[in-house]
Amino acid sequence: MPSTVFISHSSKDQAIADTICDHLESAGIECWIAPRNIKAGSDWTKGIMRGIANSRALSMADDNDVLNMRLEFALGDRDWPKAKLLLEKLKGSGDSASFAYAPADVPIGCYSILIARFQGENAVADDGFAKVREELNQKLQKEPESAPLLSQLAVVDALLNEKEVAIKEAKRAVEMLPISVCRSVRYHDIRESSSSGPSATWDAVERAVALRA
């Protein structure tokens, strides 16, 4: 359940922050505060980011960076209704370079393709997804030597079940990168994994293009 207030504080002000938290919660206002709300043994940075993303009282609640952060967590939690709601808010904006793995902005609609595939829908039959794919392709045409953009396109094509096209794009993206161990990736792994579903295909394309010197 989302908390109402995220309490940001430094470790030296822990006692003051705890006092504020106690006062707010005694008034029925649920708070998120570290270290109390971070699970033992978990990553502190991710825990704090999740706390920010899930807090209702956040002055930048509709800021694109915050919405993208919330989207990332919703996807990780497989919370498709929440992810779709966030996509509506982000419609028309670019991604904060977190789709797949490559540092390149993509149309926010790429996430809709990903969600459709994970939900077992026929992404190929959706004309809107074809338009999203073309948007990404147009970005690539403006930066034809961008390996990150090309690798993102490979992921989208894999999700759209364009297996052979995705494999060719992944190969080309790797060729555009510096010589490294990524050249040793076996591309038939991508072809083999495509029959195992979108997650396996995505992981295989990622292995093919993400490794760098």
CATH topology of domain 92-210: 1.25.40
The total number of residues shown for the chain amounts to 213
pLDDT at 50 over 60: yes
pLDDT at 4 over 90: no
- Write out the two tokens for 181: 């161990």
Domain locations along the chain: 1-58, 92-210
pLDDT in tens, 116-159: 988 888 877 788 999 999 999 999 999 999 998 999 999 999 99
What is the pLDDT at residue 120? 87
What is the pLDDT at residue 179? 56
pLDDT in tens, 173-203: 988 876 544 444 444 444 444 445 555 555 5
H/E run at residue 31: strand 31-32
Alpha carbon distance 183, 108 (integer Å): 30
Alpha carbon distance 136, 96 (integer Å): 14
pLDDT in tens, 16-38: 889 999 998 998 888 888 888 88
The three-state secondary structure class of 108 is coil
What is the pLDDT at residue 60? 44
Q: What spatial distance separates the first Cα and last Cα of the chain, rounded to whole Å?
A: 42
Answer whether 0.75 is exceeded by the pTM: no
The hierarchical CATH code for the domain 1-58 is 3.40.50.10140
Q: Specify the residue for token string 């993303």.
A: 53
Contact 132, 112 (CB under 8 A): yes
5-6 and 31-32 beta bridge pairing? parallel
